[in-house]
Amino acid sequence: MQDQFINPYPDLTLTSLERTMKEESESEATEIERKYEQRRRDVILRGVLSVTVICAEDLPALDFMGKSDPYVVLTLRKAGTKRKTRVLNETLNPVWNQTFDFVVEDALHELLILEVYDHDTIGKNYIGRCIMTLTRVLLEGEFYDIFGLDGAKSGRISLHLTWAPQPIIRDP
């Protein structure tokens, strides 16, 4: 809107009518931008995140017998929600095929953390982890991918994620 009140003759000044129209259009644009920004802040991306932990490959051997007893702990950092797969004994290539549903209150600011451990009778040994934002699943709605494990000598984890949005708007 501002562009329609540009003075094509820079040597001549704007008339009082032109100045008034320009000021009104600028104030209207500013008001519209302010309302849009406020509305954008009021929208929360709420929904259900489904995470299927399909399998892991090439995990490091942490037991004496050259195998591991792996399991995965899934955590939503902001919400503090945790879930755990079952322990699969004596394997470096576990197949879980377990799905976990999380109710997510604010998906734009949430992190999904997957930590892989080796189960032992006297405790657990950390193998590696994968940390991700929910941006990709929010944009795509559903995806499958293989992620490397940070902190591990080797290993990858296969995941399938889906997002079912339930947008809510805060009352002013």
Q: What is the pLDDT of residues 62-89, one digit of tens each?
A: 877 889 999 999 999 999 999 999 999 9
pLDDT in tens, 37-71: 665 555 668 899 999 999 999 999 987 788 999 99
pLDDT (tens digit per residue) in 151-172:
999 999 999 999 999 866 655 5
Neighbours of 50 (CB within 10 A): 16
Determine the Cα angle at 54 with ends 103 and 76, to 5°. 30
Beta bridge partners of 119: 124
